[in-house]
């Protein structure tokens, strides 16, 4: 074993390099608002591992410890939800309607995209839960028989793309209402999108957190019957 491999296989390597690069990404993101910290961090980490030819398995020895924090980080998004609970509960009808509509559109578009691109049944199962937060998406995909690793990639890309495009797009089409913005972002871009807009507005983050939780619940309930339907119809 070379000195480099001894270093890269130590759990602290994956943890340290992830925290270091993400810290740098946050600073750059604060200075240049057009740069998304999560996307920038991911690109730099991938480039770093490829440049030094470090196997992903070595990095993930420590990197997997970071993944364990996804659950607590997601739960922490419930704090603004609790703070604004009375305002949110009063608007439960439009919230549920918006989330149901957004979830239905997401599932339909996922199905159409896989069909158009000629994907197989396994890819379809992998794509189903990509609009939920990563811990839910990975576990659902594993239970359905998809590819959890690909589901994680699809989920993160969905969150990054949604958090970058959604606020800008909603602003351009004239959407200014906090509830509308929060529901749209939370339904489409889960935790990454919620983390993005909560930096600008706590109440938008609260609505987004509620939408994110409802989306995860709805897709979790729908995935099994959808899987059966797809199998019966050769999807």
Q: What is the pTM of this model?
A: 0.79
Residues 139-160: what's their mean pLDDT? 85
Model pLDDT for residues 55-103, shown as the tens digit of each residue: 888 888 877 787 777 777 777 777 888 888 888 888 899 999 999 998 9
Torsion angle defined by CA atoms of residues 13, 14, 16 and 18, in that order, rounded to the nearest 10 degrees = 150
What's residue 201's pLDDT?
Answer: 87
Q: Tens digits of per-residue pLDDT, 158-178? A: 888 888 888 888 888 988 899
Instruction: Give me the percent of the chain exceeding a pLDDT of 90.
Output: 15
Cβ atoms of residues 23 and 39 within 8 Å: no
234: left (phi over 0), alpha (psi -120 to 50) or beta: left
With beta carbons less than 8 A apart as the criterion, state whether 207 and 186 touch: yes
Model confidence at 211, pLDDT cuts 50, 70, 90, reads: very high
Where along the chain do its domains lie? 3-68, 75-232
Give the pLDDT of residue 24.
92
Higher pLDDT, 145 or 6: 145
Distance, CA of 193 to CA of 168 (rounded, Å): 12
Q: What is the pLDDT of residue 20?
A: 92
Q: What is the pLDDT of residues 214-232, one digit of tens each?
A: 998 888 888 777 767 766 6
The confidence score (pLDDT) of residue 100 equals 92
């Amino acid at each position: 074993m070379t000195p480099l491999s001894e270093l890269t296989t130590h759990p602290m390597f994956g943890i340290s390099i992830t925290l270091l690069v993400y810290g740098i990404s946050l600073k750059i993101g604060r200075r240049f608002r057009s740069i998304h910290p999560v996307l920038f961090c991911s690109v730099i980490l991938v480039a770093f591992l490829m440049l030094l030819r470090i196997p992903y398995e070595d990095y993930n020895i420590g990197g997997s410890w970071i993944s364990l924090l996804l659950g607590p980080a997601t739960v922490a998004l419930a704090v603004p939800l609790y703070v604004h609970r009375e305002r949110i509960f009063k608007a439960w009808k439009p919230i549920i309607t918006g989330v149901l509509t957004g979830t239905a559109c997401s599932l339909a578009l996922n199905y159409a995209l896989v069909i158009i691109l000629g994907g197989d049944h396994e890819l379809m199962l992998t794509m189903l839960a990509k609009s939920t937060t990563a811990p839910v998406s990975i576990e659902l995909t594993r239970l359905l028989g998809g590819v959890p690793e690909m589901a994680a990639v699809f989920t993160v890309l969905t969150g990054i793309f949604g958090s970058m495009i959604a606020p800008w797009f909603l602003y351009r089409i004239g959407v200014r209402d906090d509830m509308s913005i929060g529901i749209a972002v939370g339904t489409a871009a889960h935790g990454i999108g919620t983390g993005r807009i909560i930096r600008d507005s706590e109440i938008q983050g609260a609505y987004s957190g509620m939408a994110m939780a409802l989306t995860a619940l709805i897709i979790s309930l729908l995935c099994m019957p959808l899987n059966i339907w797809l199998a019966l119809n050769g999807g």
